[in-house]
Amino acid sequence: MRLPGFLRRSVRRKVTALVVATTLAALLVTALALVSYNVHDYRQSKLAEMRTQAEIIGRASAPALTFADRKEATRGLAMLEARPDVLQAALYAADGTLFASYARDGDSADIPVRWATLGEWIEQDRLDLVSPIVEDGQRLGTILLRARYGLRDRLLAYLVILGTVMAGALGAAVLLSAWLQRAVTEPIQGVADAARRVVDRRDFSVRAGRTTEDEIGMLADAMNRMLADLEREIRERRDAEEALRVVDRRKDEFLATLAHELRNPLAPIRNALHLMQAPGSDARVNAEARAIIDRQVRQMVRLVDDLLEVSRITTGNLALRRERVELRSVAAAALEAVDPIMREHGHRLTVDLPPIGLLIDADPTRLAQVFLNLLNNAAKFTPQGGRIDFSLEVKDGEMIGRVRDNGVGIAADMLDPIFEMFAQADRSLERTTSGLGVGLSLSRKLIELHGGRLEARSAGPNQGAEFTVRIPAAGAAGRDRGDGTAGPRFASSPRLVPARDASPSPLATAATEKKCRVLVVDDNQDFADTLGHMLKSLGHEVRVEHDGLAGLAAARTFRPDIAFLDIGMPGLNGYDLARRLRAFDSTRGVVLIAVTGWGQANDRQRAYDAGFDDHVVKPLEMDRLQSLLGRMG
Amino acid sequence: MRTFHRLVVLAAATGLLGTGVARAQMEHEVKAAHLFKFLSYVDWPAAAFEGTRDPFVIGVIDAEEVRASLADIVRGREARGRPVEVRRLESGDATEGVHVLFIGRPASEPLLRLVGRPALLLVTEAEGALDRGAMINLMLVDDRVRFEVAPQVAERSGLHISSRLLVLAQSVRTVAP
């Protein structure tokens, strides 16, 4: 329904209009009924009254008519003076001629001199009534009464009364509704005010007061709930935006750090090259230069590895390759890798490992990576000649690894942020430590993927720090039965995962392997040849080929123990080569290692599907090479 | 229209009785009509009639013209549900069974002996007749036939004259002679 503008804007006015309109309608209908009934009733009663009057006068006039006594008849009519509403009256004799007349104002000029028709006429405000005078069955004559009808006055008076009553009723209704509608409009007003405050001030903490239990109360509740939701969502969005900004800033800082860190090793490398190229450089200088280059390249590889991990985390491709692993060997790998930096800083490392043969379901590479990261951090953040403790134990179905140092420690407010991506506790340019701020974040993620947690504790700056790794080992951990049947293929292979001896120094386990026959197939001749040289320098028997088919032929004749195969090769690619080798009896037992530039999880999976035993990403470091070959022992 | 009505209406219309012979005749006719109409305004005791359909009997003495007119008027008519009979009486005749006795002017003297006779309405047309025992006396006033009434005299005879008639009377004699 279309309402006038002033009504559309206010509920209060609407309610008032509603009350007034309905009351008015009811009153009008009532008034109409009353008036029409009254008009009808008035007519009936007036006519009845006049008929009676005519009858009375007629009877009284009968003798006068009978004895033709005009005087008496006129006197009889004159009694009508007692009735002010009767204006004129007349008696007609039996033959219709005027016999006697009466006029209230004395003017009887308009009284007809003859009358024959009986009946009743109401015209405007005049009532004419003509009835017969009969006595003893004899029609003696006719009487005419002419009276003021008076309906107009009556109606006027009636309407005045009705109007007064209606006005009173309307007034009462409006007053009553004004009082009652507060129960309706005030809650609505409350809700509307709250809504307006929200819109005007963008203040979502405003709440509508709930004053009633009816639909309006429900409306207020619903609005309050929506406001609460809105407020929470806005806060969340703000927080999320803030978090995004932080991440974004960290990424920028990370890129700056990355550029810096990548550039750092370049200068020494170039210098070393200059030294080597310089005429007359002796063997000692050359050896020193090579050592420099080696160190710096390692550092760069580590940085690039970190970068790859970052991309895995951000693209959600960080996955575990879980297998049943022997705990000590994992620890040993980490300890072995961290040995150089420990020596460099002159730290005293105390190691407390569980007895040999404790198995756990985990990704050995990743777990070792975590320990290595923690040990590396401890080494980096502890001043020269510090003390570092590393312990591993299985207790209550849980593997607990601890790395404790007496280094720079961590401020309480940094205990959580250090686990965030790209976080650097020390952002100063002069900081002594290097790194991309990826390690702890990645470590925590890896441990969480194992279903465990990584926590940091520190009493404060310069109070040292302790990192604890907890991984549930229930159901998986236990003594290896030693029959080689338990667990997946790699874990059960004695050649790949040997349960290591409890050697007094895990660092001493490397480079003590037996000599192997090694086949290298890679179409990158430089890579293949350098790898070949490295292997030869380690004392292995090596054969190098540069395409798949040649590799296949060589494998049949050379009968290698282990083969490093490139994947992308002309002629026959690495996957197909691996399948062929697995298909022949003579080459089925060769340990196949894929060496590629791609380290994504699906690349690994394809390699395993094709029959590879392991998958390594270029460049292949000497340490890694030794570790791989070491497992052959 | 019947003669009676015509007469009344004529009298009422003109208001006068006219002159000469015609005037005298008119006077007789109006008087006759009055005699007939008086039946409607006087109550007789029940004993005055033997049956419900017994006629009213109007006796006329010494007024032959009036009697003749009256005889015309009552023919085929009723008063108060009874037929009306007109008798010509002589002075000295028995008045048994007569309800109204009209005595013409010449014979008004011997009325006294009739006074007090039950249920007989005595109507005269002589001046001073009420003093001599008449109950209704017809008279001419301004050439109109009017009448005077002595209701208490009638009461003594067991007759009740309606007040409606008294209203029309020229005068009402309230004290008995």
In this complex, do B9 and A135 lie within 8 Å of one another by their Cβ atoms? no
SS (H, E, C) A340-370: HHHHHHCCEEEEECCCCCEEEEECHHHHHHH
Comparing A45 with B131, the larger pLDDT belongs to A45
Burial class (CB in 10 A: 0-12, 13-18, 19+), A157: exposed
Angle (CA) A530 A531 A533, round 5°: 65
Cβ distance B168 to A136 less than 8 Å, yes or no, reads no
A73 interface with B at CB cutoff 8 Å? no
pLDDT category at A486 given cuts 50, 70, 90 is: very low
| Site from B9, B17, B41, B84 to mutate, A interface, most A CB atoms within 10 angstroms | B9
Residues of B in contact with A93 (CB under 8 A): 9, 12-13
Tell me how many helices (H) and strands (E) chain A has.
17, 18
CATH code, B39: 3.40.50
- Residue B120: C-alpha distances to residues A345, A518, B136 (Å): 175, 181, 12
Give the global pTM.
0.46
Taking only the tens place, the pLDDT of each residue in A81-99 is 999 989 999 999 988 899 9
| pLDDT tens column, A6-23 | 666 677 788 788 888 888
The pLDDT value recorded for residue B114 is 61
Alpha carbons within 13 A on the beta-carbon side of A176: 10
DSSP string, B90-134: -TT---TT-SEEEE-GGG-GGGGGGTT-TT-EEEE-STTGGGGT-
Size of interface A-B (CB pairs under 8 A): 40
Judging contacts by C-beta atoms under 8 Å, the chain A residues touching residue B136 are none
Q: Considering the domain boundaries, does residue B177 fall inside one?
A: no
Are A63 and B165 within 8 A, CB to CB? yes
**ipTM attached to this prediction:** 0.79
Is the pLDDT at A619 greater than 80, yes or no?
Answer: no
**Do B8 and A69 lie within an 8 Å CB cutoff?**
no
Alpha-carbon distance of A493 to A172, in angstroms, equals 101
Helix axes B64-74, B20-38, angle to 10 degrees: 60
Given a cut of 50, is residue A216 above it in pLDDT?
Answer: yes
Which pLDDT tens digit goes with each residue over A255-279? 777 777 777 778 778 878 887 887 7
Contact (CB<8Å) A68/B1: no
How far apart CA B143 and CA A128 sit, in angstroms, is 36
Residue B55's pLDDT band, with cuts at 50, 70 and 90, is: very high
The pLDDT of residue A7: 63
Identify all chain A residues contacting B79, using CB atoms and an 8 Å cutoff: 136
Domain carrying residue B112: 3-172
Q: What angle do helix axes A11-66 and A70-78 make, rounded to 10 degrees? A: 160
Whether B156 is covered by a domain: the verdict is: yes
Produce one character per residue of A193-231: b if its CB has 16 or more CB atoms within 10 Å, e if not.
ebeebbeeeeebebbbebebeeebbebbeebbeebeeeb
End-to-end alpha carbon distance in chain A: 94
A62 CA: distance to closest CA in chain B (Å) = 9
Shortest distance between the Cα of B161 and any Cα of chain A, in A, equals 13
In a domain, residue B120? The reply is yes
| Contact with chain B for residue A97, Cβ under 8 A | yes
Query: Are the CB atoms for A94 and A134 separated by under 8 Å?
Result: no
Residue B134 has pLDDT above 50, yes or no: yes
Does residue A461 sit at the B interface (CB-CB below 8 Å)? no
Instruction: List, in sequence order, every residue forming a beta bridge with A143; answer none if it has no partner.
Output: A91, A131
Residue B7 and residue B1: Cα distance in Å, rounded?
A: 10
User: DSSP state, B80?
Assistant: T
Has residue B115 been placed in a domain? yes
- The H-assigned helical ranges of A132-214 are 151-180, 182-201
Please give the single-letter amino acid code of residue A191.
V
Do the beta carbons of residue A387 and residue A350 sit within 8 Å?
Answer: yes
Give residues with Cβ within 8 angstroms of A576, minimum separation 6.
A548, A610
Q: For chain B, give me the number of helices (H) and strands (E)?
A: 5, 10
Question: pLDDT for A420-455, tens place per residue?
Answer: 766 655 544 334 445 666 788 888 888 888 889 999
Single out the residue of A280, A327, A631, A312 nearest to residue A490, CA to CA. Answer: A631
User: pLDDT at residue B14 above 80?
Assistant: no
Of the partner residues A64, A135, A136, the one whose CB lies closest to the CB of residue B168 = A64
For chain B, the domain total comes to 1
CB contact under 8 A, A95 and B165: no
Residue in chain A closest to B37 (alpha carbons) equals A66
- Percentage with pLDDT > 90 across chain A: 17
